[in-house]
Structure 1
């Protein structure tokens, strides 16, 4: 290999190293930017998970209150129906008494 060929080879190697250095710097900058976006995404995700947990807890509490209210309402409905049945029976008995008295007068 002649001195000129050796010089060209060294110039080529130096030029390639310069290109590689520029590319590595670009990749490093891109990596730093990606890490920043990833950190921001992780923070947002943590906030969303916390918000979802709060929403689920709130929903469960509200659901429990609604279930309790429905149970109370259902029990009251059963008592009301029993009371109405009893009232109907007493009213029927009163009607029978009134009819019997009216039939006796005729």
Structure 2
């Protein structure tokens, strides 16, 4: 699996982070974060760990294939959500996933 710039961008947006805010919190320049989000470069392991920590997700969430594209598009379409709302949505999706 390859790093998915679309997933990073979707997760940042879904969690309500401005690009400059997230870049500062993970210790990279805004330009570097933009490069990650557009696929020009991929973040190294240290940056991936910091992204996962700030975005409250496993590092594996930044990787995927074409079969997972719908999930990225869905996340991108969602408004910013509170941690409680994110947890409730995750439970709902888990229930759907186990039912299929």
TM-score normalized by structure 1?
Answer: 0.19
As a proportion of its length, which structure holds more helix? 1
Which structure has the higher relative contact order (CA within 8 Å, separation 6+)? 2
TM-score in terms of structure 2 length: 0.20
